[in-house]
Amino acid sequence: MKDDTRLYIMETFWDRQRFETAAFALTQISLYFTALANGSSKMYHSDDMIRCIENAGLLVEEIKDEIGKGHSIVICRKWNLKK
């Protein structure tokens, strides 16, 4: 990544849902995880994803919630951004 590059991650974090029912549906009765997932898929808590991002040497610059029907966008950049 160049210093001015941003990485955007779109995810349906169950802990960042606006409604409790949405979080329940994502974690307990999601049709995708019931019928289609191949065993390596994972539903992330946003704190877990942030730790993964930081372990990769990136910094979370911003998180935008309520994109569409329950998605969040995590905007990341390199730690050593030169200004």
Q: What is the pLDDT of residues 4-19, one digit of tens each?
A: 899 999 998 989 999 9
Residue 72 pLDDT: 96
Q: Please provide the CATH number assigned to the domain covering 7-78.
A: 3.40.50.150
Angle at 57 between CA 11 and CA 27, to 5 degrees: 25
Confidence of residue 80 (pLDDT cuts 50, 70, 90): confident
d(CA 24, CA 51): 23
Please state whether the predicted TM-score (pTM) of the whole model is above 0.85: no
